[in-house]
Amino acid sequence: MTVAYLSQASEPLPHNLEAEQALLGAILMQPRDALPVARSIVAPADFHEDVHAAVFQAMLALDREGRVPALPLLAAALRGEPDIAEGVTVVGYLAKLAAGATSILNVPDYARTVRDFAVTRRALDVADGLKAALAGHGALRPFEAVREAVGACDELLSVRDKDRGVQTSLAGAIRDAHAAASARRDRGAPEIATGLTDLDRKIGGFDRGQLIVIGGRPAMGKSAFLEYLQITTARAGQGSATFSYEMNASEFGVRAAAYMASERYSADRLEYAAFRQGLFTERQGQRVAEAAEAAEMLPAAIISASGMSVHDLASRARRIKMDFERRGADLAILFVDYLQLVTPSKRYSGQRVQEVGEISTALKTLAQQMNVCVVLLSQLSRQVEQRDNKRPRLSDLRESGNIEQDADLVLFLYREAYYLKQLPDPSIADVEKLDQVQNVVEIIVDKQRHGDTGIVRVFGDMATGIFRDLEAWR
């Protein structure tokens, strides 16, 4: 029912008065069932009518106190509100809404309609703000104005991603878990497999919604492992995007070309250091061309992310997701290389631990909102080098902040061969050991929210970025 004395402005902003009234009426009819659904989708500020916002705010306040927001209690809570019109009190108005309600089945639809019109109004505000920011002297700062507008639009897009937390019952959660486990059993493999049998067996592969941290000291193979993972997952049909803060797209392309041109030719490997210097044969060049052609079919993107904040990253990730969807692909995994180079916000300026914690928490939230896996590379502190046993541990995460808390899985890469090569006067035993571990990479599972910790050893060729199960190369 639409009441004529509401929304009398000459040019009202876009809204749906009937949806707002129907939502409030349904809540009044069955508050215990309808309010939890409504509050998971809308907030008081989403209502166009001030009186509706005040009523919904009062409903939420009563609910937080453990009281049912029925009409008599609302009447007391709203006693100070002015009349809606001459002779029309708020309580009388609510009574009419409750009397006109027929069902709560459409509460989610009513709530989303209210929310979507609220987003429309905010988008118009952003457009007006951008227009104003570009007027006059603002025309000299277009990139700053556009960046702020893009950030505001990204916040609006995030509303669509999450519905502000969807409530479910315990029974529903169990059924969802059963369905996911059954699907994994039927596939016979993790949803996002690393391609390394022993590692997948240990960690169960990667899952959407997870934040996975891969740490290591320089020269341990972090970037090479990331490049391997992106190619492997893309070949499995899982869309991916790498935000590279350390390398530009061309440098990443050199590594990918060497990997793809070498993986089936162990006797004629194309090392990326040589390839970058133009030292390759005609046959190797042909294999690179074939790799580029094969890569055209892969759902994989590379972003040179230097200077990007975590907010910029989230905004770009959402645009990539929409672009993938237009092409019939699905964005499943984001790679970030690496944490310490992500530009922090100004909120904790100079407080590095808080800055890093803000970044890791934002990436964890992004993983859950977008239903993607986020793989975050992290540099380790120098204290690793001061120990006799240089295998990393959780305390080595630089400026750890909330990393340990936010991460669902923490993997460390360790290459004993690297340290054996640094010995100034190696013994015969050291030389023999180096021969044994020359291409062995230890993947140390130091935190796993849903499983045990431990070490998985794999084959890793740092010159080409090839990773394989260890037994396959012995």
pTM over cut 0.75: no
Nearest to 86 by CA among 16, 4, 20: 4
pLDDT surpasses 80 at 221? yes
pLDDT band, very low/low/confident/very high, at 396 (cuts 50, 70, 90): confident
Percent share of the chain, pLDDT over 90: 32
Which residue would you say has higher pLDDT here, 83 or 288?
A: 288
pLDDT band, very low/low/confident/very high, at 470 (cuts 50, 70, 90): confident
Q: How many CA atoms lie within 13 A of 158 on its CB side?
A: 20
- Of the chain, the end-to-end C-alpha distance in Å amounts to 76
> Hey, which of 80-84, 177-181, 304-308, 458-462 has the most confident mean pLDDT?
458-462
Domain 17-162 part of CATH 2.40.50.140 = no
3-class SS letters over the chain: CCCCCCCCCCCCCCCCHHHHHHHHHHHHHCHHHHHHHHHCCCCHHHCCCHHHHHHHHHHHHHHHCCCCCCHHHHHHHCCCCCCCECCECHHHHHHHHHHHCCCCCCHHHHHHHHHHHHHHHHHHHHHHHHHHHCCHHHHHCHHHHHHHHHHHHHHHHHHHHHCCCCCCCHHHHHHHHHHHHHHHHHHCCCCECCCCHHHHHHHCCECCCCEEEEEECCCCCHHHHHHHHHHHHHHCCCEEEEEECCCCHHHHHHHHHHHHHHCCCHHHCCCHHHHHCCCCCHHHHHHHHHHHHHHCCCCEEEEECCCCEHHHHHHHHHHHHHHHHHCCCCEEEEEEECHHHCECCCCCCCCHHHHHHHHHHHHHHHHHHHCCEEEEEEEECHHHHHCCCCCCCHHHECCCCCHHHHCCEEEEEECHHHHHHCCCCCCHHHHHHHHHHCCEEEEEEEEECCCCCEEEEEEEECCCCEEEEHHHHC
pLDDT band, very low/low/confident/very high, at 113 (cuts 50, 70, 90): very high
Residue 217 contacts residue 385 (beta carbons within 8 Å): yes
Report the DSSP pairing between strands 239-244 and 331-337.
parallel
Class of domain 172-473: alpha beta
Instruction: Write down the pLDDT at residue 474.
Output: 54
pLDDT surpasses 80 at 312? yes
pLDDT surpasses 50 at 4? no
Query: Average pLDDT in the 325-347 region?
Result: 87
Instruction: Write down the pLDDT at residue 214.
Output: 95
Q: Which amino acid is at 209?
A: G
Q: Which amino acid is at 290?
A: E
Instruction: Write down the pLDDT at residue 472.
Output: 66
pLDDT surpasses 60 at 200? yes
Instruction: Write down the pLDDT at residue 3.
Output: 47
Residues in the chain, total: 474
Question: Tokens in use for 193?
Answer: 């497999």
Indicate if the alpha-carbon torsion angle 198, 335, 245, 380 is positive or negative. negative
Question: Tokens in use for 84?
Answer: 């809606």
pLDDT tens for 57-80 read 989 988 888 888 888 888 888 877
Query: Average pLDDT in the 232-251 region?
Result: 90
* Cα-trace Rg, the chain: 28
pLDDT band, very low/low/confident/very high, at 373 (cuts 50, 70, 90): very high
What values do phi and psi take at 353, rounded to 5? -60, -45
What's the whole-number average pLDDT of the chain?
A: 85
Instruction: Write down the pLDDT at residue 340.
Output: 87
Q: Within 10 A of 240 (CB to CB), how many other CB atoms are there?
A: 28
Domain edges within the chain: 17-162, 172-473
pLDDT band, very low/low/confident/very high, at 165 (cuts 50, 70, 90): low
What values do phi and psi take at 337, rounded to 5? -125, 95
Same fold, 17-162 and 172-473: no
Distance CA 132, CA 172 (A): 48
Distance CA 277, CA 389 (A): 36
Instruction: Write down the pLDDT at residue 332.
Output: 94
pLDDT tens for 10-35 read 567 899 999 999 999 999 888 888 88
Instruction: Write down the pLDDT at residue 377.
Output: 95
Instruction: Write down the pLDDT at residue 64.
Output: 85
Query: Average pLDDT in the 249-257 region?
Result: 87
pLDDT surpasses 50 at 2? no
Question: Tokens in use for 164?
Answer: 């502000």
User: How many angstroms from the chain centroid is the CA of residue 371?
Assistant: 7
